[in-house]
Copies of this chain bind each other. A is one copy, B any other.
Amino acid sequence: MSEIRGRLVVQQCVSASLKLSRGEGQEPEIVEIKKGMVVFVCFLNGASEDTVEQLTKHITSIRLTEEEESGKRVSVCEAEGDVLLIPQATLGGRVKGRSMQYHANVDKVVGEGLYRSLCCKVREAVEAVSGGSVKCGVYGARQVLSMNTNGPFTHIIEV
């Protein structure tokens, strides 16, 4: 486990929306995607731009999405699906007694930089080859997620 630097939980969805608070007195921002996948992201100790590259490749190329007519699995790009990337530090937790401990998580400032980089790279990769759009959450903020699935299919991917 100590060598894992990036961890994803990927869930196929029919639609998903994320409400982001923007501080007191401001209306929350809502980001939405249609058919595609919700990707929860966590960076662990030792994560670097290399980790970002590997995760980008996995997110955009692994065949996780069911093609509607054939039922065949294709990548989210091949399916022209959307991607919603949500930072999720809790994925770095390990059970210790009755609690979760987060000692393996990367430093917050480093994690925020890597998350922003991942958002850029996934957006570039998806928009270069497909009509899908890529939306992102806000690192370290409370986010209200609603999602609808037609499966659901949940995958864990570690690099």
Is there contact, CB below 8 Å, between A58 and B95?
A: yes
Pick the contact of A98: B9, B61, B86, B150 (CB < 8 A). Answer: B61
**Pick from B95, B99, B143: contact of A152, CB under 8 Å:** B143
**What 1/0 mask marks residues of chain A from 78 to 113 whose CB sits below 8 Å from any chain B CB?**
000000001010110101001110000000000000
CB of A144 closer than 8 Å to a CB of B:
yes
Q: How many copies does the complex hold?
A: 2
A154/B88 in contact, CB under 8 A:
yes
**A95–B147 contact, CB under 8 A?**
no
Chain A contact residue count (CB 8 A cutoff): 35
Can you list 25 contacts pairing A with B, beta carbon distance less than 8 Å?
A7-B156, A9-B9, A9-B154, A9-B156, A40-B152, A40-B154, A62-B95, A62-B98, A62-B99, A64-B100, A73-B99, A86-B152, A88-B153, A90-B155, A91-B154, A91-B155, A91-B156, A93-B155, A93-B156, A142-B151, A143-B152, A144-B150, A144-B151, A144-B152, A145-B152
